[in-house]
Amino acid sequence: MDLADAYRDVRAATEALCAPLSPEDCAVQSMQDASPVKWHLAHTSWFFETLVLEGLPGYAAFDPAFRVLFNSYYQSVGEQHPRPERGVLSRPSLDRVLAYRRHVDVAVLRLLDAGAPSTALDVVELGLHHEQQHQELVLTDLKHAFSRNPLRPAYRERAPEAPGRAQPARWIVFDAGLREIGHAGQGFSFDNERPRHRVFVEAFELASRPVTNAEYLDFVRDRGYARPELWLSDGYAACGSRGWRAPLYWEERDGAWSIFTLGGMAPLRPDEPVCHVSHYEADAFARWAGARLPTEAEWECAGEAAPLAGGFVESGRLHPAPSPACERAPSSLFGDVWEWTASAYAPYPGFRPLGGSLGEYNGKFMSGQLVLRGGSCATPRGHIRPSYRNFFPPDARWQFSGIRLARDRR
């Protein structure tokens, strides 16, 4: 697709996500890890303004104060408004932020139309993938905010129950061998997916589908959260200090479980993939099940062979759906739920961060986080690929994060 068309599409998609929301909804920050929707709208524009437009002849900043206000974490750009205080910003208003978007759109499209140098085109393309990442965060951050409101508001009408039933999980066998992982092709990739490189992978088996709510509920009922031998030490400590007894958004009343969704409260459906679990919970569940989490190399070996199919944001469900029956390749590797891997987020051999401020995009976060793979029901379909590396700390639960089991070849 033409870059200008892609630009228009991505920008419009972001705003479409905000259409059902009031200005007040767009202003809430419910925890330090989450940001207001309005902030996402502004920051994604800041990215283009600061990293593409700034310094171009004839470009005038929309508001010089925004340079600090909507800088997320770019130290090389300058100061940042403190992250925990993003929810304090009633001004600029939502209207003014939307006007900011228009201002930036005009300038970017004019630049594309005029024939920008390839370095600028590369940053515009990066900015679109960046904005798609924030589209997912708009949904997960909003879900968190709504979940903290006792009124339990719905972002949209509850999706009808997906028709399928989850099939019993099977183990798909992968042989040992020297493989290649990482991105190599023509299309876009982030710096953290490169370079493609060799890894030796021992023989392993991967579950045919993600863990379901029914399976996870068995773990809960088997006192999984009270058995330290199943947990990493840090994970068991987190259960204690935060009172975890089930995944985020699960609620029990009189023995019946329901969950909070972007369509409001809903009964727990046994066939859906479990989601909103931390890495600690995924790891403990796997140990309880006599299995383990896959490494990201294992996952990518499977992912390269699988069709890029699954439930994405375009479906409008905004909730994971039961996995279809799988043939040869594991099903639901893409979409529905991000899958925690056992791999720490670290540089690939030969990793080179982008130059300049963009070097801060990924590399400096390679500490204390774990890789997730495959995208979720809140991910745009065009955003994901087998080599895509998402990353969160092991205690993060507000993403659509689920569990795919693996085990050593028997």
* Minimum distance from residue 245 beta carbon to a copy of itself (Å): 18
Residue 30 binds to a copy of itself (criterion: CB under 8 A): yes
Residue span binding a copy of itself (CB under 8 A) among the ranges 195-203, 248-256, 263-271, 313-321 = 195-203
Q: Which is nearer to a copy of itself, 148 or 223 (CB)?
A: 148
Residue 241 binds to a copy of itself (criterion: CB under 8 A): no
Q: Which is nearer to a copy of itself, 315 or 357 (CB)?
A: 357
- Show the site string, 370-399: x = touches a copy of itself by CB under 8 A, - = not: ------------------------x-----
Q: DSSP readout, 120-164?
A: HHHHHHHHHHHHHHHHHHHHHHHHHHHHTSTT---SSPPPPPP--
The site that binds a copy of itself (CB under 8 A) totals a number of residues, namely 66
Contact status, residue 369 vs residue 396, Cβ threshold 8 Å: no
List, in order, residues 6 or more apart from 209 with CB less than 8 Å away: 166, 167, 169, 273, 323, 326, 330, 331, 332, 404
Query: Pseudo-torsion of CA 34, 36, 40, 42, nearest 10°?
Result: -140
List, in order, residues 6 or more apart from 247 with CB less than 8 Å away: 216, 274, 275, 276, 277, 281, 397
Residues forming a β-bridge with 339: 373, 402
Return the amino acid letter for 52. V
Q: Which residues of 197-213 are buried (b: 16+ CB within 10 A; e: fewer)?
A: eebebeebbbbbbbbbb
Give the residue among 114, 117, 127, 103 at the shortest CA–CA distance from 47.
127
Residue 246 binds to a copy of itself (criterion: CB under 8 A): no
Q: Which is nearer to a copy of itself, 116 or 406 (CB)?
A: 406
SS3 for 169-223, per residue?
CCEEEECCEEEEECCCCCCCCCHHHCCCEEEEECCEEEECCCCEHHHHHHHHHCC
Q: Which 325-344 residues touch a copy of itself, going by CB under 8 A?
A: 342-344
Contact status, residue 394 vs residue 344, Cβ threshold 8 Å: no
The pair of three-digit structure tokens given for residue 293, joined into one six-digit string: 């989490």
Q: Which of 16, 68, 173, 309 binds a copy of itself (CB under 8 A)?
A: 68
Residue 309 binds to a copy of itself (criterion: CB under 8 A): no
Residue 145 binds to a copy of itself (criterion: CB under 8 A): yes
Compute the distance between CA of residue 158 and CA of residue 139 in angstroms, rounded to an integer. 15
- Packed helices 3-18 and 37-48: angle between N→C axes, nearest 10 degrees: 160
Residue 360 binds to a copy of itself (criterion: CB under 8 A): yes
Residue 84 binds to a copy of itself (criterion: CB under 8 A): no
Give the residue among 4, 351, 404 at the shortest CA–CA distance from 169.
404
* Minimum distance from residue 362 beta carbon to a copy of itself (Å): 11
* Minimum distance from residue 232 beta carbon to a copy of itself (Å): 4
* Minimum distance from residue 22 beta carbon to a copy of itself (Å): 6
Residue 75 binds to a copy of itself (criterion: CB under 8 A): yes
Give the residue among 105, 111, 98 at the shortest CA–CA distance from 40.
98
Q: Which is nearer to a copy of itself, 235 or 310 (CB)?
A: 235
* Minimum distance from residue 15 beta carbon to a copy of itself (Å): 17
Residue 406 binds to a copy of itself (criterion: CB under 8 A): no
Residue 367 binds to a copy of itself (criterion: CB under 8 A): yes
Q: Which is nearer to a copy of itself, 4 or 354 (CB)?
A: 354
Cα dist. 214→165, 166, 176, 179, 271 in Å? 11, 10, 32, 35, 6
* Minimum distance from residue 85 beta carbon to a copy of itself (Å): 6
Residue 23 binds to a copy of itself (criterion: CB under 8 A): yes
Please, what sign has the CA dihedral across residues 184, 186, 192, 195?
Answer: positive
Q: Which 256-285 residues touch a copy of itself, going by CB under 8 A?
A: 280, 283
Q: Which is nearer to a copy of itself, 154 or 162 (CB)?
A: 154
Question: At which residue do the structure tokens 């403990």 appear?
Answer: 284
Residue 410 binds to a copy of itself (criterion: CB under 8 A): no
Residue 196 binds to a copy of itself (criterion: CB under 8 A): no
Question: At which residue do the structure tokens 């997960």 appear?
Answer: 140
Residue span binding a copy of itself (CB under 8 A) among the ranges 20-28, 51-59, 183-191, 309-317 = 20-28
Residues near a copy of itself (CB under 8 A) are 22-30, 65, 68-69, 73, 75-76, 81, 85, 87-94, 145, 148-151, 153, 178, 197-200, 202, 204, 228-229, 231-236, 280, 283, 292, 295, 342-344, 346-347, 349-350, 359-360, 364-368, 394, 408
